[in-house]
Structures are given as C-alpha cells and as structure tokens.
Structure 1
C-alpha cells in the first residue's frame, strides 16, 4: 500500500551540498544499505538528474528507489508515493541548485546531513552554502536539525583539524568521518555489507544515533 510523501511517518533525511564531488551519492548509498541490512524499511529518492543513487540503489531488492526532477510541473507530493510501512527515506540532492530549489528541498526534510570533503576549498564552499541555508524562510520556519559528515577522508590529520577548528564554531555537529576507501564502492554493486563492521564504525554508530531510528 502506498501513501503520499507528506502523509508518510517515515523519517526523511536530506543529503545535501551545493558543491559537486562532496560524496553525496556515496553517503546516500551507504546509509541506505546500512539501514536496510538492519531490517529497517528504507526508501531512496534521487533528485539529481544524473540518477546515480537511483540507478545503483535499484540493484538492491531491499531498497525501493524513485527519481524526480524538481523542474517538473507536477508537485513533488503528488508525483511520489512511499510505502505505508517505510521507516526511513533518504533523499539525494543535486549540486548547483538555486535558492528556490533549496527551499523545495528543505520542505522535504526532517533532518539534514551535509557531507563535505576535508579540504580548504570544500570548507569555503560549505560556509557560503550555510549562509544561504540559514537565510531560507523554510529553514527558519521548520528549524530542521543539521549535521556534518566529513567524506572521502584520506588520513591527513591537518585537514581534519582544520575542519573541526572552523566547523565547531557553528551550531551543527560533526558526527563522523567517512574514509576514501574502495570498499564503499562495493556497496553499489555487491550485496555484502561487511564493510560497516570494519570501516568507520564510529561514523555509522553516530549516524544511527543522530537519526534515532
């Protein structure tokens, strides 16, 4: 049985960063595989025209996937339906969106995860994006919880220290680090989810805790 998006009681998590290459799709896929492996009914919605999450997520029978372009004239709430027993919905967004599109995305979310790489360029970009985020009337009205995940971390301690030093001044927590590892690519094509047992275990524990599902 299917119901309207807004009527669904599932927790809706928006994965968002206006900069390309931030690791949004990798984090989206990893989260979908993690929670579905724990028998949590998970759906994935891909708003990116590239449809990376939609394409690879569709290879897993445990994850229901949908795609939607916000440029469509059909309202999101009418175009997309969720299964009645869905517990978690993960939404992958595109890059380079405008303020109008940002407001659309924010209207879909219960919580927001901002993935970004540990680099000065990505740090500068995310600070500019956060200015737009907090200026959004939708964000102000809904006061949506936000957190950071550092992605594609290559082990350079100095880079990570910089991220903590700057981002800790904001009110959003850094809940963990996702390593730059080929093991995560297996989640796109393989049913094996053992990667969560040995790689970045603290991150996945904290994501579960933060989402609270």
Structure 2
C-alpha cells in the first residue's frame, strides 16, 4: 500500500506523521519504505540523527517523476510512505499520482482548514487520470479539550473527503523522539502518542482495503 502524506501548508506535522506511521507498520512486521519527497529533506535528517539500526528504509526522491518510478523504487516493500512537499507543485502532483491513499494532516486551525482546499483540488485533478485514488484528513497536533479541537471535524465536512475518527494530539514526545532519530514507541512505548499513531495506522489500513 502506498500512502502519500501531503498538505500544501507547512508546519502541519507531515514528517512526524510519516515517520511514525512508517515505524508503526515496520513494528508490525512489514517491510516499509519512506520516500522523502520534500526538498527540505526532513525525513532524511531524522534518519541521519538516528544512532541505532534503522527501523525501515528512507530514501530521498524530491522529483516530479515519483508516479512513474514508484513501482521500481518500492519493489520488495509491503508499504510505502511518501512524505510530500509543502507546496502545490508538479512534485506534489506526482506524489499524489503515486499514492493509493492521500493522507492530509490538518491542524485544528482556521488557516489549515482553509489551506486544505489546495490539496483537495490537486486530488480532484488526479482523479481524472487515476480514478481509484482515496484520500482522508487526519486531525494532527490537536490540543485536547479545546473548542477548535472539537470543531475541526465539522469545518472539514465542507470538503468531499473523509475525516479519520482517529486523531493525534500535540505532544512533546514527538519532538523528543525526532531529535534523536527515533520513533515515539522507542521513547514512550506505553504512552498515549503511541496509541494515537496505532489507531491512525489501523484506520488507514482498513480504509485502504
């Protein structure tokens, strides 16, 4: 399965979600490839910061030919995560075309909800060429017990894209893990962040069927 994690707005936690979803799938025994398609190379930086053996493969491929080369790049892997670029470009279009499911992380903020329109348009364009592309919103970096955290689902209902029931809260452990090139389950295996990522991964896999 190929999951493209995209949102044209920066700072939504794209790389954090990509890395930890990849780690979650790998922890379950799958062979996982994380493709860093963001020219900023944040996922590659994460991999470079890691001291221990890799949890999964990470390659940099910020080129607008991902959809043409994904079958060769992903040969032998069970799941591929594409950490997409933060702008609407040919590279973003290519990452969408390469994906089975486009995962759109959205922070519970009006700016993020408005900005989601751009990636929704790109997905609609891609449907013309690849009808079976699926797409979902994931509420990410949610601040618990706030009105905007609760209302974001209603606001996203304006778009013709499903919002996952599972969501991910804003937690310091994500930054702590990233600084060490680790996944959150290595930092706090029994913590709520791990449970949230596992819930998102399980729902994505169910939706992707």
TM-score of the superposed pair, with normalisation by structure 1: 0.80
Change (3 A) 1:196 1:24: farther
State how 1:58-207 maps to structure 2 within 5 Å.
59=50, 60-70=53-63, 77=69, 81-84=73-76, 86-98=77-89, 100-134=90-124, 136=125, 138-143=126-131, 144-175=133-164, 176-188=166-178, 189=180, 190=182, 193=185, 195=188, 197-200=190-193, 201-202=195-196, 204-207=198-201
Change (3 A) 1:82 1:167: same
Change (3 A) 1:208 1:187: farther
Structure in which a larger fraction of residues adopt helix: 2
Where does structure 2 lack aligned partners over 5 or more consecutive residues? Answer: none
Where does structure 1 lack aligned partners over 5 or more consecutive residues? Answer: 1-10
* Number of residue pairs the alignment of both structures matches: 198
Residue deviations 1:7-30 (CA, integer Å, cap 9, x gap): xxxx11000001111110010111
Structure 2 Cα separation of the partners of residues 78 and 14 of structure 1: 12
TM-score of the superposed pair, with normalisation by structure 2: 0.82
Change (3 A) 1:94 1:128: closer
Contact 1:33 1:187 in 2 (8 A): no
Residue deviations 1:65-115 (CA, integer Å, cap 9, x gap): 11012168x98518962342x1111000111232x3333122210111000
Change (3 A) 1:146 1:193: same
Deviates more, 1:176-185 or 1:202-211: 202-211
**1:119 positional shift:** 0.3
Change (3 A) 1:97 1:183: same
- RMSD over aligned CA atoms reads 2.7
Q: Please, which of 10, 28, 31 is the counterpart of residue 21 of structure 2?
A: 31
Q: Which runs of 4+ in 1 moved over 6 A?
A: none
Q: Please, which of 192, 200, 203 is the counterpart of residue 209 of structure 1?
A: 203
